[in-house]
Amino acid sequence: MNQTQIREFFEILRAANPSPQTELEYASVFELLAAVLLSAQATDVGVNKATRRLFVVANTPQKILELGEERLAEYIKTIGLYKTKAKNLHATCRILVEQYGGAVPQSREALESLPGVGRKTANVVLNVAFGEATMAVDTHIFRVGNRTGLAPGKNVLEVEQQLLARVPPEFLVDAHHWLILHGRYVCQARRPLCERCAVVAQCDSAPMAAAR
C-alpha cells in the first residue's frame, strides 16, 4: 500500500465514521483505564457486562480499594483471568491513591508502571482519554496492518511503529479506532468480508479478493 492509497484508505474510513469511539463503556478516565485493563483476552461486550455492575458500586480507585480484592473479583468473574485482573486492578488503585491522589497519570512511563498495564493499555488511555496520537495495536490492528499492507510487521511493536510512520498526521488520533472496527466487523480473521469492504481497492489483498 503506497502513501496515496493510505490517504484514500483513511479518507474513506473517516467519511463512513467521522467520530469513531471505543466500544468500551466508561464515564471517567479511571473507568476507561479499568475497562481496558480488564479487556485483555476478553471482548468489549464481556467487559461492559461486568463493569456495568462494578462501576455502580465502585468507580474510583478509593472505592475499589474499599471494596477489596475478593469482592472485586466477584464483580468481574465473568471475564477471563478475572482473579489476576482483580489483583492487578486492586494494586493499581492503591498506587493511584497513594502516589497520584486518585488521578490517572498522563505519562506513558507512569501508566506502564501500574500492575496489569502494558504498552497497549497505556496507548489506549493516552489516545482516548488524553487525545494523544498513539497506536494501540491489538490482534485486529495487527491483522489489518499486515493483511492490507498498511503496516506490515512481525510483532505488535513493529506494526505500531509502521503505523505511526505511515499514517498521515491528520488521521493519527482516530486511526486506531477505525482499524479496530474494520478488523472486528469487516477484515475478520477467519474470512475477511471483502465483498462489503469499502477500502478493498486500496488493499494489497485486493487482487485475491477479486478472484474469489
| Active-site residue identified among 63, 138, 154, 204 | 138
Residue 141 and residue 183 in contact, taking contact as beta carbons nearer than 8 Å: yes
Helix (H) or strand (E) holding 179: helix 172-185
Picking from 66, 72, 60, the residue whose alpha carbon sits closest to that of residue 33 is: 60
HSE-up (13 A, CA, CB side) for residue 64: 30
| Cβ count near 29 (within 10 Å) | 16
- Retrieve residue 61's grid coordinates: 480507585
Q: Distance between CA atoms of 160 and 137, rounded to whole angstroms?
A: 6
* 138 labelled catalytic: yes
Q: Distance between CA atoms of 36 and 85, rounded to whole angstroms?
A: 11
* 44 labelled catalytic: no
| Active-site residue identified among 63, 77, 120, 154 | 120
Picking from 151, 164, 169, 198, the residue whose alpha carbon sits closest to that of residue 1 is: 151
Picking from 150, 82, 85, 155, the residue whose alpha carbon sits closest to that of residue 114 is: 85
Q: How far is CA 175 from CA 61, 89, 160, 162, 189, in A?
A: 30, 28, 11, 13, 19
Report, as residue numbers or ranges, the catalytic residues: 120, 138
